[in-house]
């Protein structure tokens, strides 16, 4: 099974990207977690561009569409989801009826230096993804004080979240 890891942060030292790398390093047998790094290449969503979709958007739609599931890791900016991540979801929620997010199994995690672990952003992101047509795995994984490192409890919770994502994606595949 191929799970795509999407970080909502462009920062080189991103705690959310580190979280996704930890998920990739400890993925269950038979599961590959591949990190997607095209967030910074996307133009701002503009419906007028749908007639001649930019190459970066074509790549996003192809890569997100071919994944069995997507694990989103979001920081929290001003109490919500970073604009670049929301922009990528806007592109991936179209075209209607054929969007890569339509019925895609997804899960949400997040890390921040604060005490709440990007919890508000995760809640918003789960709502946004559901409205976009994704099948969102229940619950968040807030990683607080991420600058202090990932301890065994966080790594265990991360593995459990990844296993829940795999089970949900398998269930959808089995039902199809």
For 75-97, the pLDDT digits (tens) are 999 999 999 999 999 999 999 89
Query: What is the domain extent for residue 107?
Result: 2-175
How many domains are contained in the chain?
Answer: 1
β-sheet bridge partners, residue 108: 72
**Which H or E element spans position 70?**
strand 69-74
Average pLDDT, the chain: 96
pTM to 2 decimals?
Answer: 0.96
What number is the average pLDDT over the span 18-44? 97
Domain of residue 61, CATH code: 3.40.50.360
Joined together, the tokens standing for residue 54 give 């930019």
Confidence category of residue 176, pLDDT binned at 50, 70, 90:
low
Question: pLDDT at residue 174 above 80?
Answer: no
- Model confidence pLDDT, tens digit, residues 125-146: 999 999 999 999 999 999 999 9
Cα separations in angstroms, 146 against 17, 54, 66, 111, 114: 11, 35, 31, 6, 8
Q: Which residue has the tokens 């952003």?
A: 121
Name which of 168, 175, 89 is nearest 129 in CA terms.
Answer: 89
């Amino acid at each position: 099974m191929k799970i795509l890891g999407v970080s909502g942060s462009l920062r080189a030292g991103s705690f959310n990207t580190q979280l996704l790398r930890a998920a990739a390093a400890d993925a269950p047998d038979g599961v590959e977690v591949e990190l997607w790094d095209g967030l910074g290449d996307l133009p701002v969503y503009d419906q007028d561009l749908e007639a001649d979709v930019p190459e970066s958007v074509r790549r996003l739609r192809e890569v997100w569409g071919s994944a069995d599931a997507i694990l989103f890791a979001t920081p929290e900016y001003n109490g919500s989801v970073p604009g670049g991540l929301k922009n990528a979801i806007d592109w991936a929620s179209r075209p209607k009826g054929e969007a890569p997010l339509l019925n895609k199994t997804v899960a949400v995690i997040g890390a921040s230096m604060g005490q709440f672990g990007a919890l508000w952003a995760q809640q918003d992101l789960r709502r946004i993804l559901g409205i976009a047509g994704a099948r969102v795995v229940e619950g968040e994984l807030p990683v607080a004080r991420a600058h202090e490192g990932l301890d065994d409890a966080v790594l265990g919770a991360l593995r459990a979240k990844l296993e829940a994502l795999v089970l949900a994606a398998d269930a959808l595949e089995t039902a199809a």
